[in-house]
Structure 1
Amino acid sequence: MSSTALPLFRFGIIADPQYAAIPPHAAMDRYYANSLAKLAEAIEVFNGEELSFVMTLGDVIDRSFKSFDDILPVYERLRHEALFLLGNHDFSVSAGHLSEIPARLGMPSPYYSFRRHGWRFVVLDGNEISTFAPPEGHPHRALAAKMLADLQARGERNAHPWNGALSDEQFAWLGDEIAGAAAVGEKVIVMNHYPVYPAGEHDMWDCDHIVALLAAHDNVVAYLNGHNHAGNYGKVGACHFVNFKGVVDTETENAFAIVELHPDHMEIRGFGREESRTLVY
């Protein structure tokens, strides 16, 4: 095997377990309680591989802060580092718990970045401007209500209360992270719960703004997300936009992936309903 055939490193991806100890929603094909067994199955596969980390792309739970007590212990079986980002359903908890979600998931902050093997991973909080995540009375909640009303008035397809946007501060931080990575020769992978491309009803309210920023920098090779459980894929400029399928969907079929990074391409090995892809950069 030539050296180019060996990946630089690998990591695991899980999207939307949306666990809750509740009956399934058969019409939506969502089996909330079954996500514990599916997650355990995915972890068994991950533990058989050399991985740098495993990222869950949001919606660890479907509802109730107590749901974390059932699903987070399953992650303790993982022999690799478990990393998280925030999804909309993670905030389907009582108001008193809203500010506790990042700490409950062991996150350093609602959005953050980290480096692995000369690559930079930028983790966004797509719920920052939303009608559900900010505490009652927070200016971000009022701003979200206005943004949503404007989108609805224009008839935009992503004008839904279960989407959100980045604050100006977080957007500027994203730009700084990308520029900082470029200055030291790092390729960038951005991760978020929400899609931004191709256009669809699950997209961030400020998706065009985000896509324009990512496509303007050729060191940004990929944007990885969940939220749209059907999955999706698109490309703008040098950036691949990969929407991973949701674990919670279907009674028994799983959906997760192992991503292998090579100097010139990314290999996504899909398991269960997740598709395998070779993405060149």
Structure 2
Amino acid sequence: MPSDNLLPRLRFGLIADPQYAPIEPNMALNRHYAKSLDKLEAAIARLNAEDLDFVVTLGDVIDRGFENFDKALDVYGGLRHRAFFLPGNHDFSVAPERLAEIHGKLGMPAPYHDFVCKGVRVILTDGNEISLFAPPPGDPRRQAAEARLAALQAAGAKNAQTWNAGMGNDQIAWLDERLKLAAAAGETAIVMGHYPLFPASDHNLWGAEDVAGLIAGSPAAAAYFCGHNHAGNYGALNGTHFVNMKGMVDTPDENAFSVVELFGDRLEIHGFGREENRLLPLSPVAGLQAAIG
């Protein structure tokens, strides 16, 4: 279907890990937290010049401190496109009494949710659900996180790290149901989260293998986009693309964000600053899904 392969069916912007805070840089990690407001302003000005359906921030709007959301979100207020946020681990580096306010502060209808735009189902997951930092103190999910982390450490897993987290069984079942719904409706599915799933790394979601297999096993799934690992990464599993976007907070002056275009037979990622350009072919089944919607 030539027309479907010449014109994108969906165009959206991606930002990962601005991690704003008015603090000194961490030179060992090359993270310049106070510079992120200027980078966000530059990114939003560029994204405003594009014809986009929406913009997703893949987590870590701030590095720490609930009060720092205000300045970062004030910059996002200049975005003319519909904005969606996924919180990352650093977004929960706030006083314990503010933890329950994070999702509302980011304008999220629920910790995980989905929507359909132009025949594409966009599924936004919550990788912080089982963690040592997102649930309030005393929440059983913290105990579950301690047990899961201990098991991973005992197994010598690379991602057995306190800065990672996992998804609960109910959410995984929900993700499976949304992917099946997309396939039955002839929709392309694009899944997003904060934590990488594939390839293996020390930044991956706890239980990443199972979640990656679930997504890659869906005929509707075209790609999974994430942040968290600021160096970025890429892998393909069963024809599904797993793209780890680079962190905006890294380096004193280079930005990192992107515009993604979905065609009937491919995904094109147009990177700005440190972010790479990518041309990712879609499998015949995924391409058919995109053409049908």
Range into which the TM-score falls when normalised by the shorter chain? over 0.9
Q: Which residue of 1 aligns with 2:78?
A: 77
Q: Which residue of 1 aligns with 2:118?
A: 117
Q: Which residue of 2 aligns with 1:280?
A: 281
Q: Which residue of 1 aligns with 2:288?
A: none
Structure 1 SS opposite 2:28: helix
Q: Which residue of 1 aligns with 2:287?
A: none
Q: CA deviation at 1:6?
A: 1.7
Q: CA deviation at 1:219?
A: 1.0
Give the letter for the 2:65 counterpart. Answer: S
Q: Which residue of 1 aligns with 2:239?
A: 238
Q: CA deviation at 1:86?
A: 1.4
Unaligned stretches of 5+ in structure 2? 283-293
Q: Distance in 2 between matches of 1:242 and 1:36?
A: 24
Q: Which residue of 2 aligns with 1:15?
A: 16
Q: Could you tell me whether the CA contact under 8 Å between 2:64 and 2:92 is conserved in 1?
A: yes
Q: Distance in 2 between matches of 1:203 and 1:214?
A: 15
The TM-score with structure 2 as length reference comes to: 0.94
Q: Distance in 2 between matches of 1:261 and 1:221?
A: 9
Give the letter for the 2:210 counterpart. Answer: H
Q: Distance in 1 between matches of 2:3 and 2:192?
A: 30
Q: Distance in 2 between matches of 1:96 and 1:71?
A: 21
Q: Which residue of 1 aligns with 2:265?
A: 264
Q: Could you tell me whether the CA contact under 8 Å between 2:32 and 2:250 is conserved in 1?
A: yes
Instruction: Pick which of 221-230 and 5-14 moved more.
Output: 5-14
Q: CA deviation at 1:28?
A: 0.8
Q: Which residue of 1 aligns with 2:291?
A: none
Q: CA deviation at 1:4?
A: 2.9
Instruction: Pick which of 47-56 and 214-223 moved more.
Output: 214-223
Q: How does 1:82-121 map to 2 (within 5 A)?
A: 82-121=83-122
- Residue by residue over 1:231-258, the C-alpha shift from the partner in whole angstroms, topping out at 9 and shown as x without a partner, is 0000000210000000000000000000
Q: Which residue of 1 aligns with 2:255?
A: 254
Give the letter for the 2:141 counterpart. Answer: H
Give the letter for the 1:161 counterpart. Answer: T
Q: Distance in 2 between matches of 1:186 and 1:138?
A: 37
Q: CA deviation at 1:117?
A: 0.2
Structure 2 SS opposite 1:249: coil
1:55 aligns with 2:56: yes
Identity of aligned residues (%): 54
Structure 1 SS opposite 2:56: strand
Q: Could you tell me whether the CA contact under 8 Å between 2:5 and 2:265 is conserved in 1?
A: no
Q: Could you tell me whether the CA contact under 8 Å between 1:218 and 1:239 is conserved in 2?
A: no
Q: Could you tell me whether the CA contact under 8 Å between 1:12 and 1:53 is conserved in 2?
A: yes
Q: Could you tell me whether the CA contact under 8 Å between 1:36 and 1:74 is conserved in 2?
A: yes
Q: Could you tell me whether the CA contact under 8 Å between 1:267 and 1:276 is conserved in 2?
A: yes
Q: Distance in 1 between matches of 2:106 and 2:76?
A: 11
Q: Which residue of 1 aligns with 2:33?
A: 32
- Residue by residue over 1:136-175, the C-alpha shift from the partner in whole angstroms, topping out at 9 and shown as x without a partner, is 1111100000000111111110000110111000000000
Q: Which residue of 2 aligns with 1:211?
A: 212
Structure 1 SS opposite 2:128: coil
Q: Give the alignment's Cα RMSD to 1 decimal.
A: 1.0
Q: Which residue of 2 aligns with 1:132?
A: 133
Q: Could you tell me whether the CA contact under 8 Å between 1:218 and 1:238 is conserved in 2?
A: no
1:160 aligns with 2:161: yes
Q: Could you tell me whether the CA contact under 8 Å between 2:268 and 2:277 is conserved in 1?
A: yes
Structure 1 SS opposite 2:127: coil
Structure 2 SS opposite 1:69: helix
**Aligned residues, how many?**
281
Q: Distance in 1 between matches of 2:208 and 2:95?
A: 29
Structure 2 SS opposite 1:26: coil
- Residue by residue over 1:168-192, the C-alpha shift from the partner in whole angstroms, topping out at 9 and shown as x without a partner, is 0000000000001111100100000
The TM-score with structure 1 as length reference comes to: 0.98
1:173 aligns with 2:174: yes
Sort the Cα spacing of 1:205 and 1:40 in 2 relative to 1 into closer, same or farther, 3 A: same
Give the letter for the 1:118 counterpart. Answer: G
